[in-house]
Amino acid sequence: MLKRILLFILPVAIGTAHAQKADITLEDIWLNFKYYGNGIDDLRSMNDGLHYTIAEGGRNGSNVIAKYAYKNGEKIGNLLTLDGTVDPLQNFDSYTFSADENKVLLSVNGEQIYRHSSRADFYIYDFKTKKWTKLFDRGKVLYPTFSPAGDKVAFIFENNLYYKDLNSNTVTTVTTDGKANEIINGLPDWVYEEEFTFFEAYEWSPDGKNIAYLRFNETDVPSYTMPVFGKSLYPENYVFKYPKVGEKNSIVELHNYALDTKKDTKIGLKESYEYIPRFRWINASELAVFIMPRLQNELKILKAGLNGNVSVIYAEKADTYIEIGDEFEFLNSGFVIKSEKDGFYHLYMYDYTGKQKAAITSGNFEVTDLLGVDEANGMVYYTAALPDPMNRQVYRASLDGKKKELLTPAKGRHDVKFSSNYKYFIDNYSDLNTPPTFTLYDEKGKAIRELEGNTQLKADLKKLNLNAGEFYSFTTSENVQLNGWMIKPANFDPAKKYPVLMYVYGGPGSQEALNEWAGFNYMWFQMLAQKGYLIACVDNRGTGGRGKAFRTATYEKLGYLETNDQMEAAQWLGKQSYVDAKRIGIFGWSYGGYMSSLCITRGADVFSAAIAVAPVSNWKFYDNIYTERYMGTFETNPNGYDDNAPINFVKKLKGKYFLVHGTADDNVHWQNAAVLSKALVDNNKQFDQFIYTDKNHGIYGGYTRYHLYTKMTDFLLKNL
């Protein structure tokens, strides 16, 4: 998915502009990491609902699992401390408890594969016996999980599914046919991982007697070859399966492995499908299986029994598309699911016959996240885009939808983690002009203790010459209200006219006009504001938080309405007395790079400069799950793919254009920049270009980000 690139680690504080204060430097942002704030790492609630754990210490990872009390936020002690002498480890990357919390699984030496996936070495520590066990000796593995009883751990190695019995210290091979670029067991293929954000393609049954898993046969999926330049005398070719628009997908099957009989069975679903984007155990003998057709305009949830019985317990159709996420929970009495069948995302309760029991939420607002269900007390916890699309507040409601209560105290962005019994929650709060604050609350929303306020960061940033970001909105010529934010130049003088840099992402369901911190990239915008630029951002049609009609308006014509809206935003800004309408530029990454490329070509009369990082140049080059969801296929939308491809508008280019890409981008392939570059040359258009060797879609590592932001800053200072 062309998600916005995370250009930050923790955000930073913005104050009002004052004379005689310090300026921001790129060195402080990207080399010294001066604006790297504090957070709370690997927060996990313990079973008793009274305590929580976090990862602490360590220079190259964590070396402590610390235990805290919810009632006051005070530290109880350390559950585990590593020193590398008695213990086999000096630090760890992450940790996971067994269900009974008697064991913990620690990952070390993590190695990134794609955007989400990584392989690592794993060690198990038994708190009762005080003994260590290495999970697997043959190499790094992916996605290990404890069995419900905590006596076994399943994992993936070289496309096969295994499990280890911790009592006998034996490893059992569940599948044997896994093979690179052909068969994958228990692990999603590239496009499932990226576009369905689907990671572990296997799951233990609640009684631990079975493991259900997906088998991907990607043999007939076309391959993409990515040269790797920096490892040997001759470039090495990294080859992986990548289904572009119109190409074949993996053939996906649901299987079950019974541990007692060691029998593997394919589960027949008795319904046609292209995709299985999710599955979950309902109970020890039945699975909920999500299936979708290729156009992703229909969702069915099947109840599939190990005895072969299959029934449809949920069905939804759309005239555009249906997005798949993890906003559902299967309970004893039925299941809760998020749907936008009434035009906005809301939560519904169904029984296992497929009958709707309640609309838990309703109204002209979006539920963005299902945070959890307390079935014993009949309560659902969720995040909603209230009181307006820019904010995220946390609520709880009764399962019958009759009661609703606001739990968070202020407008802004609230990311909440509840205790296991929902008696407490820890809130990561920020807004456009407030740095992140982590606060512990009780179930009634009463603050108990501030756990982390980033007070030092606030103090440091008060020393800088900054200007507070502010929200704005305007109405387009098509009578559409668009929301945005802007940062005016430091020491702003309304009598002067300033150049503008617009920042855009703009992809389906995304949002940039949010009342939250935006991190290191935001500090770069502040740095540019110190140099006399006005920075502005607007969410065009197609973005999220405003209901189905607003988001799906771009269906089958990605880029068209979005570019119109960005052009109108630029024209509206150009009419402000303090803006130089002849000096409006735009910057975007990924989908934003696609947008900035369209704006400088289709919108050549509006924009004078553009930076495009890792852009799509024609949707034909992108993967099929994402693209066909929003564009349909070549058969259903024969003209849509070329109508808004930047490569078909390069002849209109008049302003300054800077094109950036990484050669090892497994997501938006370097091919996009190569073809776009050729089209520009073929049309005799001058432009700047920079290629980052062996860098992926994020373009980071070592000095890379500093180098990139130096190049972009120099380009703007020279051309805008």
- Both tokens assigned to 59: 């220079």
User: pLDDT tens digits for 164-220?
Assistant: 999 999 999 999 999 999 999 999 999 999 999 999 999 999 999 999 999 999 999
- Both tokens assigned to 369: 């996240």
The pLDDT, as a whole number, for residue 458 is: 87
Plot region of 579 (φ>0 → left; ψ -120 to 50 → alpha; else → beta): beta
Give the type of residue at 347.
Answer: L
| Contact assessment for residue 44 and residue 31, using Cβ atoms and an 8 Å cutoff | no
User: pLDDT tens digits for 578-616?
Assistant: 999 999 999 999 999 999 999 999 999 999 999 999 999
- The mean pLDDT value for 687-692 works out to 98
Distance CA 44, CA 419 (A): 8
- Both tokens assigned to 573: 């800004």
Residue 9 has pLDDT above 70, yes or no: no
How crowded is the C-beta side of 79, counted as CA atoms within 13 Å? 24
Distance CA 375, CA 413 (A): 26
Distance CA 232, CA 660 (A): 25
The pLDDT, as a whole number, for residue 84 is: 83
- Both tokens assigned to 405: 């209560």
Higher pLDDT: 473 or 458? It is 473
Distance CA 437, CA 454 (A): 7
Fold of 469-719: Rossmann fold (3.40.50)
51 - beta bridge partners? 69
Distance CA 362, CA 555 (A): 25
In total, the chain counts a number of residues equal to 720
User: pLDDT tens digits for 253-276?
Assistant: 999 999 999 999 999 999 999 999
Residue 491 has pLDDT above 60, yes or no: yes
The pLDDT, as a whole number, for residue 577 is: 97
Distance CA 583, CA 516 (A): 28
Residue 114 has pLDDT above 90, yes or no: yes
Distance CA 308, CA 375 (A): 29
User: pLDDT tens digits for 276-322?
Assistant: 999 999 999 999 999 999 999 999 999 999 999 999 999 999 999 99
Residue ranges per structural domain of the chain? 469-719
Q: How far is CA 479 from CA 139, 474, 475, 549, 568, in A?
A: 59, 9, 6, 14, 11
Lowest pLDDT segment from 11-15, 27-31, 81-85, 348-352: 11-15
User: pLDDT tens digits for 289-301?
Assistant: 999 999 999 999 9
Averaged confidence pLDDT in the chain: 95
Q: What is the DSSP letter of 292?
A: E
User: pLDDT tens digits for 86-108?
Assistant: 889 999 999 999 999 999 999 99
The pLDDT, as a whole number, for residue 433 is: 82
- DSSP-assigned letters across all residues of 322-372: ----S-EEE-SS-EEEEE-TTSS-EEEEE-TTS-EEEE---SSS-EEEEEE
The pLDDT, as a whole number, for residue 111 is: 94
Distance CA 99, CA 21 (A): 53
Q: Which of 707, 620, 712, 621 is nearest to 669 (CA)?
A: 621
Distance CA 12, CA 463 (A): 13
The pLDDT, as a whole number, for residue 2 is: 61
164 - beta bridge partners? 153, 171
- DSSP-assigned letters across all residues of 375-429: GGGTEEEEEE--SSTT-BEEEEEETTS--EEE---SSSEEEEEE-TTSSEEEEEE
Confidence of residue 456 (pLDDT cuts 50, 70, 90): confident
- Both tokens assigned to 56: 């602490």
Q: Which of 558, 589, 586 is nearest to 696 (CA)?
A: 589
Q: Which of 214, 216, 344, 196 is nearest to 280 (CA)?
A: 214
Residue 682 has pLDDT above 50, yes or no: yes
Distance, first Cα to last Cα, the chain: 31
Confidence of residue 511 (pLDDT cuts 50, 70, 90): very high
User: Chain centroid to CA 451: how far?
Assistant: 25
The pLDDT, as a whole number, for residue 281 is: 98
Distance CA 659, CA 354 (A): 51
Residue 11 has pLDDT above 80, yes or no: no
User: pLDDT tens digits for 30-42?
Assistant: 999 888 888 898 9
The pLDDT, as a whole number, for residue 59 is: 65
431 - beta bridge partners? 434
Q: Which of 499, 490, 492 is nearest to 720 (CA)?
A: 499
User: pLDDT tens digits for 613-624?
Assistant: 999 999 999 999
- Both tokens assigned to 512: 């940039």
- The mean pLDDT value for 140-158 works out to 98
Residue 437 has pLDDT above 50, yes or no: yes
Distance CA 100, CA 11 (A): 36
- The mean pLDDT value for 127-150 works out to 97
Residue 397 has pLDDT above 70, yes or no: yes
Q: How many percent of the chain have pLDDT more than 70?
A: 97
Cis peptide before 435 (omega within 30 of 0): no
The pLDDT, as a whole number, for residue 13 is: 36
The pLDDT, as a whole number, for residue 381 is: 98
The pLDDT, as a whole number, for residue 85 is: 81
Place of tokens 């590592």: 701
Residue 562 has pLDDT above 70, yes or no: yes
Q: How many percent of the chain have pLDDT more than 90?
A: 90
List the Cα angle 336/341/347 in 5-degree steps: 25
The pLDDT, as a whole number, for residue 460 is: 84
Give the other-Cβ count within 10 Å of 141's Cβ.
21
Give the other-Cβ count within 10 Å of 426's Cβ.
25
pTM: predicted TM-score of the whole model, two decimal places: 0.95
Residue 1 has pLDDT above 90, yes or no: no
Q: What is the DSSP letter of 5?
A: P
